[in-house]
Amino acid sequence: MRAIHFETYNAPFRPVHVPLPELQEGQVLVKMTAAAVNMRDHLIRSGMYRHVPPPLGPSSPVVGNEGAGIVVATRERRYPEGTRVFFSDGYHLPCGGVWQEYVVADIQHLHPVPPGKSLVEAAALRTAFQSAWMALEQGGFRPEIEPTQVVLAPAIGSGVGNAAVQLVRASGGPEALTTAGSSFKAEHAQGLGYRNVIDLSRETLQAGVARLAAGGVDVALDLLGGTFTAQALSVLKPGRALTLVGYASGDPHATIPLYELIGKKIELRPFNLLLAPQEARSRALEHILRLWQENRIQPHIDRVFHFTEAEQAMHHLLHGRPFGKVLLLFDEGKHDERE
């Protein structure tokens, strides 16, 4: 079979032939349909986590944290052949991540794909929506207690940013405020029905929030890092929290005005999905699966590449300014069907 891996840090992703893995008791073999391309795949390949042990650090040169496929061999009766599954954790499977044609998995890393939902969509769902929901909760999002909370979920074209806006909408509260880095993305988002889009190429975050929510925001996520962190702090209401999720801007550093923290009593709350307790991750997964089955959320897919084009797919993720998820499609994915 073929797998995608990198030989040395910063080397290109390329397909190689590897032996088909053997199953142990309690494991299943999944023939992959689709897998997602995520920023962490790039960071692992670049060597950022080379001295970091799992779960943050890699355990294999075959990356890929989320994907979906069909069980084709099993030594676990709860997952018979033909079961459509997606992965609840892909980085630390017995034989590497999901960027390979056949993947061995223990059952605790699998979840059935609901009837009526496609495997391609399943490959794009879990990481973004699970991260977004848990980050919102960590930031104080409580729609059942404060139904009028104003939420800032930036980066509408990113997986987590878009997922957060959809989750706020599905919770029945006011439409979340979001951002776009260009007029093209802002107009594209508005064309898809996202109303409160701040075009950061035309106005500052502060001006956009003042226009859309004069009193400031109750919950804010920081997905961008760099200079955006200080801007997000400035629009938060006193006594609230900024949840730090990532630095998609490419700048992992931020200069923080201490008077915003001290004078407004704002908390900084870092979030990392891989370090979150398993119980909390499971609760979040069940929540987003229910919303997905009810058609209240939907992953956006920007572009699909054949899995042998992983390097091109990563280049598109990093430099193509995608709106939504970037996926790798395996040969089986050409015949993906909803059941």
The predicted pLDDT at position 325 comes to 97
User: pLDDT grade, residue 334 (50/70/90)?
Assistant: low
Tokens of 79: 């997952």
Query: 2-112+300-335: CATH homologous superfamily?
Result: Medium-chain alcohol dehydrogenases, catalytic domain (3.90.180.10)
The predicted pLDDT at position 333 comes to 56
Rounded Cα gap, residues 280 and 303, in angstroms: 31
Rounded Cα gap, residues 27 and 94, in angstroms: 9
The predicted pLDDT at position 54 comes to 76
Instruction: Calculate ∠ Cα 165-169-170, nearest 5°.
Output: 115
Average pLDDT, stretch 200-226? Answer: 96
Rounded Cα gap, residues 320 and 43, in angstroms: 17
Domain boundaries, the chain: 2-112+300-335, 139-274
Specify burial of residue 148 (Cβ count, 10 A radius: 0-12, 13-18, 19+).
Answer: exposed
Statement: residue 335 has pLDDT above 80:
no
- Dihedral angle sign, alpha carbons of residues 248, 252, 253, 258: positive
The predicted pLDDT at position 57 comes to 76
DSSP H or E segment with residue 27: strand 27-37
Rounded Cα gap, residues 34 and 303, in angstroms: 12
User: pLDDT grade, residue 314 (50/70/90)?
Assistant: very high
The predicted pLDDT at position 13 comes to 96
The predicted pLDDT at position 61 comes to 87
Radius of gyration of the chain (CA): 20
Instruction: Calculate ∠ Cα 245-251-255, nearest 5°.
Output: 85
What is the pLDDT of the chain when averaged over all its residues?
94
Average pLDDT, stretch 100-117? Answer: 95
Of the candidates 245, 257, 251, the residue with the CA atom closest to the CA atom of residue 226: 251
pLDDT tens across 286-310, in order? Answer: 999 999 999 999 999 999 999 999 9
By three-state DSSP, how is residue 179 classified?
strand
The predicted pLDDT at position 103 comes to 97
pLDDT tens across 154-212, in order? Answer: 999 999 999 999 999 999 989 999 999 999 999 999 999 999 999 999 999 999 999 99
Instruction: Calculate ∠ Cα 130-327-159, nearest 5°.
Output: 35
Rounded Cα gap, residues 332 and 69, in angstroms: 8
The predicted pLDDT at position 209 comes to 98
**CATH class of residue range 139-274:** alpha beta
Of the candidates 162, 84, 159, the residue with the CA atom closest to the CA atom of residue 116: 84
pLDDT tens across 37-92, in order? Answer: 999 999 999 998 888 877 777 778 899 999 999 999 999 999 999 999 999 988 88
Residues 66, 99 contacting (CB under 8 angstroms): no
